[in-house]
Structure 1
Amino acid sequence: MKLLEDRIRKDGVVKAGNVLKVDSFLNHQMDVPFFNEMGKEFKRLFEGTPINKILTIEASGIGIAIIAGLHFQVPVVFAKKSRSSNISDQVYHTIIHSYTHNCDNDVVVSKQYLHADDHLLIIDDFLANGCALEGLIDIAHQAGATVEGIGIAVEKGFQSGGDRLRSQGYRVESLAIVERMDPISGTIEFRSSER
């Protein structure tokens, strides 16, 4: 998605340790009209796929997933990183390692909201090592749901997550795939895509 690549070039900041900061428009302050364009693109990419629910994880995936949910006209379920008092004990849970925060999270989704007849589109803001997505796939499998696809805003193509998920047979559609980035020069190179 050239629109996203251009926005990353304009507002993204490359930091040491393979960190790409896009918090001015994507995962801290959210540019809602821009999210709408991403939601339209996810709808276009997955047109004809029998999606009846979107699954994401708190917190940064929620905004993108909600806008995508509007375009698909389906509910959005988000996995919680902590169990609050208003969630029953009937949950699917998995452990997900956070690359960004370097910690493990016990992630839960109420069994009330995921079922065997669900056809899921998993949405997230970033794909690097793929740990969050593997955790969401685990939760989907616990529910007996079908993962129809994975929609990612920004994939770090130089890390292993995307390749590993694709090799397992999952359809992964990333709106922008960063091939290389240099914290010294601030340059970002994207993988070319023909869609």
Structure 2
Amino acid sequence: MTTLSNEALNQLFHDARTFNKFTNEPVTDEQLQAIYDLAKMGPTAFNASPARFVFIRSPEAKARLEPTLADGNKAKTMAAPVTVIVAYDTNFQEHLPTIFPAMDVKGMFDANPEMTQTTAFRNGSLSGAYFIMAVRAIGLDAGPMSGFDNAALDKEFFPDGRFKSNFLINIGHGDASGNYPRSPRLAYDVATQTL
């Protein structure tokens, strides 16, 4: 492997921001497919792939989402071209015989609900992060956020209880006028240790 160009690193990390405001330019079905096709390639334990992504784009779906949002997140989310519910499948192991044929691990998860929950949440979170990077990689912008009522959202969108919401991502073509000044990051010697 080779190091990515400075231009690519800037797009993915250095110049990328959390966007609170987007232009009216739509996000296409082809772009959503391209984002998922990149994000799904990120590693997860046993290739479990527990993340599930629900694209909220129609006015009807936005109206269902709005009551679950914290007041400070309503206006920007209603205006975003697409809001993604990043959720995880609490019964992801059902797919393991197909997506992890190297060995039979489904029974291990069936027998241990606590490990299943931990694996679903952790690896679903990883996949949500991959999704943000995929958004940036195809030239769009992302505004990930918490600030919503998970229980209310799950009742509205996942009433059978199998999927659980983790966080939300607004995506589209970012409008930098809605950005806060970039906050500092922790220094290397504060955040890391080498043993």
Do the structures match in fold with TM over 0.5? no
Flag the structure with higher strand content: 1
TM-score by length of 2: 0.33
Question: Larger Cα Rg: Structure 1 or Structure 2?
Answer: 2
Flag the structure with higher helix content: 2
User: More relative contact order in 1 or in 2 (CA 8 Å, sep 6+)?
Assistant: 2
TM-score by length of 1: 0.33
